Amino acid sequence: MKGYLYAFAEGGRWSACVTISREVDLAYRLDDDFRRAAEAEAGCDGEGAARRPGGRADVVLLLDEPLPLGSAFAAAELFARRAGRVQGEAGAARLLRACVREAEPRSGWPGLAGLNRSFGREQPAGDVRRIAAVRFGRASGEREARALAAAAREAAAALEGRALLRSEAHALLGAAGPAPARWSAAFADAALQLAALLGRLRLGSAIARCDGVRGRRRKRRCLRCGSGEAHMRRTPCAACGRVCAYCEACLLLGRCRECTLLISGIPEGGTSVRMRTADELPPIPARLERWGLSPAQSDAAAAALRWLESADGDAHRSISGQPKHKAARMASRFGIAGTLTRKRTANPVHTSGMERPPFLLWAVTGAGKTEMMFTLIDSVLARGGKAMVATPRRDVVLELEPRIRKAFPEHAVVALHGASREKWTNADITLATTHQAIRFSAGFELVVIDELDAFPYHNNPMLQYAAAKCVMPGGHRVLLSATPPAQLRRAAARGRLPHARIPVRFHGFPLPVPVEIRVPPVREMIRRRSVPDKLRKAIAASLSRGAQVFVFVPRISDTGPAATLLGTICPPDAVIGYTSSQDEQRTETVMRFRRRELRVLVTTTILERGVTIPRSDVFVLDADAPLFDEASLEQMAGRAGRSKDDPHGRVYFCAPHATRAQRAAIRQIREMNALAAARGYIRKETLAAVGKQEARAGGMMH
């Protein structure tokens, strides 16, 4: 896409702007009747005026040929840096031309000049044209302005909190408007441009050039997903007639090019927080009664609510008492800080609230994190805010949707994932995969990131950036995890990260402690067609007590052969199945396991989360495999003992030898049990009885 670059003088000061609808900009800058009518119709206030990119112009210097958007916005930024040295119109025109020459790709992409020439770029963009007045006539000018301003207001409201490419914004407007046919491409562009002039939207190139270090070449960055130069690929582009970059990292969500327009919605009220204070809400204990929480859940939810509802207080300090810059560095190390310290570009994605570290809800598997999350969402909704729950996995979105709708029947809820048909629907509560969060920006007072340690969110800077930029100014982030990364655990232990630990499940019984069994590698057992007696006896004991048996293996290729091998030692009525991420019938296989049509299910880490079977035991074969880290082992162990009717499920780590990950997982489970007992959430005699059972089982297995 291309846009027009122009400079304008306002009270003797020169500025530069880019427009996708030059007629709108010229009318707004030079026709007083048009501008006043548009601002009146849009209801612009003093705060909105502070966000508007200039107003009445004395004169406009318009480059009469359009430029690729990336070059146009880069030139506008260069002009802004040097505008203080401009003297007169002639100086402004010279500077405008110089900035265009510097911003054009030829100087930034060595070796591509010949390709640019062959692709149609032989001359720099056209000359500068001086425009001093535009008149529609008062009646027609006001009529045009009011009609377009009404559309601009509607577009800004629909796009609030979003970060969309031009084609996506057009689709949203077509779906949201009362008369979709009205939103032609030209009309939509004009409305978007006027909304930007009125300070209701930000327009910019989807890929911007950010400052290099110590004079190095300015590198490109995708402002939609945050990815840097390493993810940029340059190809000839039919849209702008140049060789321009696109972002590979977020390609699945639509091609994001340097010449692509990115529209970022601005929260109503600008950078102020929309929500009311919590002073008029009932006391926290009274509000928690609604949710029927356990004592451990209530204590953690109360701590999180106190943090969430605390006054912003000193703007220079975070909730943890750390100065802003220290909190920002800490959040950056956690991979959740977004772009707080990124250099400004001509049109930066609006990320905010990053100076405040998040709150960590560290809850053991089966602790009931969802119910605690409901209390936080309830607080935000009661004060007029919006909430997002972002999770790495689509199945979690599908599982949470009916529960959220039931818990908040009076509020609009939307669930966004790759196959969702509601992607343009606005709601009070948004459930989304972390990939879908890329399409939002500064839209929510509360963003809850569930299962932050799960694939694909864990160690994925793009998804972490996406989730962080969804928080609006002054907003809050809450992290949910049963197995938070080590750096988060250390920060919490050192008092640098506000958090609450829930060391016990909702039913109040201790976590099953894994028992180690020394057995050969699973492939050796398959090759020999033999199962060691201690493993065979343990599986037989689980089946005899009526348990469903999870058998985890590290490799997809081993699921089928392992199921066949186990079939030789199980009774005929114990049907065995297997599944993995490559199984197209995985959902049906899991349902058969739930219905007890299958008694043993051989699977991979694909089922380490999100599947709850009332009476189940867990066997992890090849527990020493590198794939099975501490978090993975804890999650797999967490499939056992989740039901109050069978809280003492059994867990076995089966491997030729112990690993650091196995020991760490067992140690963490024991520490959580001890903490729960110390806080009075479980009886110490119950914990002692479990310890005796563990000792007896361990003696049998070694």
Q: Of 568, 516, 576, 567, which Cα lies nearest the Cα of 548? A: 576
Q: Is the pLDDT of residue 395 over 50?
A: yes
For residue 349, count other CB atoms closer than 10 A to its CB: 25
Say how far apart CA 500 and CA 291 lie, in whole Å. 18
Q: Of 334, 332, 303, which Cα lies nearest the Cα of 319? A: 303
Give the number of C-alpha atoms closer than 13 A to the C-alpha of residue 32, restricted to the C-beta side: 1
Beta-sheet pairing, 616-621 with 651-655: parallel
How far from 220 is each of 68, 242, 441, CA to CA, in Å?
15, 16, 20
Cβ neighbours for 463, distance < 8 A, ≥ 6 positions apart? 392, 434, 435, 437, 456, 457
User: What DSSP state is assigned to residue 399?
Assistant: H
pLDDT for 268-314, tens place per residue?
A: 754 445 677 888 899 999 999 999 999 999 999 999 999 999 854 33
For residue 691, count other CB atoms closer than 10 A to its CB: 14
pLDDT at 103 (0 to 100): 86
The one-letter code for the residue type at 81 is: R
Binned at pLDDT 50, 70 and 90, residue 316 comes out as: very low
Burial 420-459 (b: 16+ CB within 10 A, else e): beebbbbbbbbbbbbbbbbbbbbbbbbbbbbbbbbeebbe
pLDDT for 209-225, tens place per residue?
A: 876 555 556 789 999 99
pLDDT for 600-654, tens place per residue?
A: 999 999 999 888 999 999 999 999 999 999 999 999 999 999 999 999 999 999 9
For residue 132, count other CB atoms closer than 10 A to its CB: 9
For residue 690, count other CB atoms closer than 10 A to its CB: 20
All structural domains of the chain: 2-265 (no CATH), 284-502 (3.40.50.300), 515-701 (3.40.50.300)
- Mean pLDDT over all residues of the chain? 85
Is residue 641 left, alpha or beta, with left meaning phi > 0 and alpha meaning psi from -120 to 50? left
Beta-sheet pairing, 219-222 with 207-210: antiparallel
Say how far apart CA 463 and CA 211 lie, in whole Å. 23
How far from 265 is each of 154, 363, 606, 655, 698, CA to CA, in Å?
12, 35, 36, 53, 59
The one-letter code for the residue type at 335 is: G
Burial environment of residue 521 by CB neighbours within 10 A (0 to 12, 13 to 18, 19 or more): middle
Is the pTM of the predicted complex or chain greater than 0.75? yes
Helix (H, G, I), strand (E, B) or coil at 606: helix
Beta-sheet pairing, 387-391 with 261-265: unpaired
Q: Tokens standing for 306?
A: 């106190």
For residue 43, count other CB atoms closer than 10 A to its CB: 11
pLDDT for 484-521, tens place per residue?
A: 999 999 999 999 999 999 999 999 999 999 999 999 99
Q: Tokens standing for 639?
A: 């499939």
pLDDT for 660-690, tens place per residue?
A: 999 999 999 999 999 999 999 997 667 666 6
DSSP per position, 87-147: -HHHHHHHHHHHHHHHHSHHHHSTT-HHHHHHTT--S----EEEE------HHHHHHHHHH
- Sheet order of strands, 201-205 included: 163-165, 261-265, 201-205
Binned at pLDDT 50, 70 and 90, residue 393 comes out as: confident
In the chain, pLDDT over 70 holds for what percent of residues? Answer: 82
R_g over Cα of the chain: 30
Say how far apart CA 362 and CA 269 lie, in whole Å. 34
Say how far apart CA 137 and CA 32 lie, in whole Å. 10
**Start-to-end CA span in the chain (Å):** 69
Binned at pLDDT 50, 70 and 90, residue 347 comes out as: very low
Assess contact for 652 and 272: CB atoms under 8 A.
Answer: no
Beta-sheet pairing, 576-578 with 600-603: parallel
Assess contact for 475 and 353: CB atoms under 8 A.
Answer: yes
pLDDT at 52 (0 to 100): 60
Assess contact for 364 and 503: CB atoms under 8 A.
Answer: yes
Assess contact for 366 and 638: CB atoms under 8 A.
Answer: yes
How far from 507 is each of 193, 297, 644, 668, CA to CA, in Å?
56, 11, 5, 19
Q: Tokens standing for 595?
A: 């219905």
Instruction: Over range 329-351, report the average pLDDT.
Output: 38
For residue 680, count other CB atoms closer than 10 A to its CB: 11
- Sheet order of strands, 651-655 included: 515-518, 651-655, 616-621, 548-552, 600-603, 576-578
